[in-house]
Structure 1
Amino acid sequence: MTELLPTRQAADLRRAVIDYVTTAISLADPSVASALDAFLTDERSGIFLGPYLRTRLPFAGGSDAAAARELVPSLPGGFEPYAHQAAAFSRLTTSPEAPGEQDEAGFRLPQPTIVTTGTGSGKTESFLYPVLDHAARAKKAGIGGIKALILYPMNALANDQAGRLAKLLTEKPAYQGLTAALYTGEASHEPSTVVTADSLITDREMIRGSAPDVLLTNYKMLDQLLLRRADRPLWEASAASLRYLVLDEFHTYDGAQGTDVGMLLRRLRLVLDQIAPGRVHLTPVATSATLGDGADAAAAMLDFARTVFGTDIGEDAVITETRVDLDEFVRPSREVTADHAGEAAGEGPSLSPAQFPAAASMATAVRPHLEPGTPLDAEALTAHVLDVLWTADGGERASTIAAQRGLPPARPPPRPPPRRPDPPRDLPRHRAARARRHRAAVGDPAAHRRGLHHRPARRALPRARPRSSTPKLLPEPRSAPVAARDHPRGPRRDHRPRLPLVRRARGGRGPRPARHLLPPLRPLRLGRHHPRRRRRPRPAPRHHPQGRR
Structure 2
Amino acid sequence: GPFFNHRHGNGVDRHQPLPSAKSPFTTAAVDVRDPRLKQHVDELVARGEQSPEPWLALNPLFARGGAIGDLVTEGLLHPECERIFRPKSDFSDRGARAITLHKHQREAVEAARTGLSYVLTTGSGSGKSLAYIIPIVDRVLRMPERTSGVKAIIVYPMNALANSQVGELEKFLRYGYATGGEPVTFARYTGQEKGEEREQILRDPPDILLTNYVMLELVLTRPEERRRLVQAAQGLQFLVLDELHTYGGRQGADVAMLVRRVRDACQSPDLQCVGTSAPIASDGTADDQRNVVAQVASQIFRAPVTADRVIGETLDRATLGDPSDVAGLTVDVRRGGARGDYDALASSALATRIESTFGLDEEPETGRIVRQQPARVRESAARLAAQTACTVDECEQAIRATLLAGSSVRHPETHRPLFAFRLHHFFSKGDTVYVSIEPQDRRHVTSTYQVAVPGDADKALMPLVFCRECGQEYLVVARTDDHGTVRYRPRRDRDASGGDEANGYLYVSADQPWPADPLAEGRFPESWLADEQVLDRLRKYQPRLVRVDVSGAESPDGLLAAYVPSPFRFCLRCKVSYEQSRGSDFAKLATLDAEGRSSAVSVISAAIVRSLKQLPADELDEDARKLLTFATIGRTPACRPDISTTSCRSRSCEVPCTGR
Name the TM tier (shorter chain): 0.5 to 0.7
* C-alpha distance in 2 between matches for 1:36 and 1:123: 46
TM-score, L = length of structure 2? 0.44
Distance 1:80 1:331, change over 3 A: farther
Task: Note closer, same or farther for the CA distance 1:66–1:14 as it changes in structure 2 (3 Å cut).
Answer: same
User: 1-side partners of 2:59 and 2:167: how far apart?
Assistant: 30
Between the aligned partners of 2:220 and 2:37, the Cα distance in structure 1 is 63
Q: Secondary structure of the equivalent of 1:11? A: coil
State yes or no: 1:314 paired with 2:306.
yes
Match of 1:24 in 2: 29
Kept in 2, the 8 Å contact 1:146–1:215? The answer is yes
The 1:358–1:7 alpha-carbon spacing in structure 2 relative to 1, beyond 3 Å, is: farther
Structure 1 residue 181 corresponds to structure 2 residue 183? no
Once the two structures are superposed, what CA deviation does each residue of 1:44-63 show, in whole Å capped at 9, x if it has no partner? xx333212222464211126
Tell me, in whole angstroms, the C-alpha distance in 2 between the residues paired with 1:7 and 1:126. 30
SS class of match (1:176): coil
- Mark the CA change 1:61 to 1:353 in structure 2 (over 3 Å): closer, same or farther: closer
Contact map agreement 1:179 1:214 (CA 8 A) in 2: yes
| Counterpart Cα distance in 2 of 1:55 and 1:369 | 13
2:316 paired residue number = 324
Distance 2:393 2:138 in 1: 50
Shift of 1:298: 1.1
Q: Are residues 1:135 and 2:124 paired?
A: no
Q: Which residue identity is paired with 1:224?
A: L
- Among 49, 59, 63, the residue aligned to 2:52: 49
The 3 A distance-change label for structure 1 pair 329 and 35 is: same
- Bigger strand share: 2
Q: Structure 1 pair 69/35, CA: closer, same or farther in 2 (3 Å)?
A: farther
2:503 paired residue number:
none
Deviation at 1:294, TM superposition (A): 2.0
Residue type of the alignment partner of 1:113: Y
Contact 2:150–2:205 at 8 Å: present in 1 too? yes
- Does 2:212 align with 1:218? yes
- Cα displacement (A) at 1:78: 3.2
Say whether 1:69 aligns with 2:72.
yes
Matched, 1:153 2:180: no
Is it true that 1:171 corresponds to 2:175 in the alignment? yes
Find the partner of 2:289 among 277, 297, 305.
297
Matches within 5 A, 1:56-455: 57-62=60-65, 67-70=70-73, 71-72=76-77, 73=79, 74=81, 75-76=85-86, 77-93=97-113, 110-138=115-143, 141-173=145-177, 176-185=182-191, 187-189=192-194, 191=195, 203-231=197-225, 232-240=227-235, 242-273=236-267, 280-291=269-280, 292=282, 293-325=285-317, 329-330=319-320, 353=349, 357-358=384-385, 361=391, 363-364=393-394
How many Å separate the matches in 1 of 2:184 and 2:295? 35
Counterpart residue identity of residue 184, structure 2: L
Report the alpha carbon displacement of residue 177 of structure 1 after superposing the two structures with TM: 4.0
SS of structure 2 residue aligned to 1:10 = coil
Distance 1:166 1:13, change over 3 A: same
Q: Partner of 1:54: helix, strand, or coil?
A: strand
Distance in 2 between the 1:146 and 1:352 partners?
A: 52
- Does the aligned pair in 1 maintain the 2:291–2:306 contact within 8 Å? no
Q: Secondary structure, in 3 states, of the residue corresponding to 1:330?
A: coil
Contact 1:23-1:430 within 8 A present in 2 as well: no
Q: Report the Cα distance in structure 2 between the residues aligned to 1:159 and 1:297, rounded to whole angstroms.
A: 31
Deviation at 1:184, TM superposition (A): 1.3
Give ranges in structure 2 of 5+ residues lacking alignment.
1-7, 87-96, 329-346, 354-382, 406-465, 470-660
Unaligned runs of 5+ in 1: 94-99, 101-109, 193-202, 274-278, 338-350, 371-377, 383-427, 432-549
Counterpart secondary structure, 1:151: strand
Please tell me the root mean square deviation across aligned C-alpha atoms, in Å.
3.8
Sort the Cα spacing of 1:182 and 1:25 in 2 relative to 1 into closer, same or farther, 3 A.
same
The answer as to whether partners of 2:104 and 2:313 remain within 8 angstroms in 1 is yes
Task: Give the C-alpha shift of residue 130 in structure 1.
Answer: 1.6
One-letter amino acid of the counterpart of residue 127, structure 1: Y
Query: Does the C-alpha gap of structure 1 residues 78 and 11 become closer, same or farther in structure 2, counting only changes over 3 Å?
Result: same
Residue identity opposite 2:30 in structure 1: I
Query: Which structure's residues are more often helix, by fraction?
Result: 1
Distance 1:4 1:87 in 2: 27
Give per-residue Cα distances to partners, 1:409-451, cap 9 Å, x unaligned: xxxxxxxxxxxxxxxxxxx9999xxxxxxxxxxxxxxxxxxxx
Letter of the 1:166 partner, please give it. Answer: E
CA apart distance, 1:309: 1.1
Q: What amino acid is the match of 2:391? A: S
Per-residue deviation, 1:132: 1.7
Tell me, yes or no, if the aligned pair for 2:205 and 2:232 is still in contact at 8 Å. Answer: yes
- The CA deviation at 1:332 is 11
1:306–1:313 Cα contact (<8 Å) kept: yes
1:83–1:234 CA distance, 2 compared to 1 (3 A): same
Q: What is the TM-score of this pair, normalised by structure 1?
A: 0.52
Asked if the contact 2:122/2:279 (under 8 Å) is kept, the reply is yes
Aligned length: 324
Report the AA paired with residue 357 of structure 1: L
Determine the C-alpha separation between the residues in 2 that align with 1:131 and 1:12.
44
Residue aligned with 1:156, SS: helix
Structure 1 residues 25 and 211: CA distance shift in structure 2, 3 A = same
- Aligned equivalents of 1:177, 1:17: Cα separation in 2: 51
Cα distance change on mapping 1:249 and 1:172 into 2, 3 Å: farther
Q: Structure with the greater relative contact order (CA < 8 A, sep ≥ 6): 1 or 2?
A: 2
Name the % identity: 32
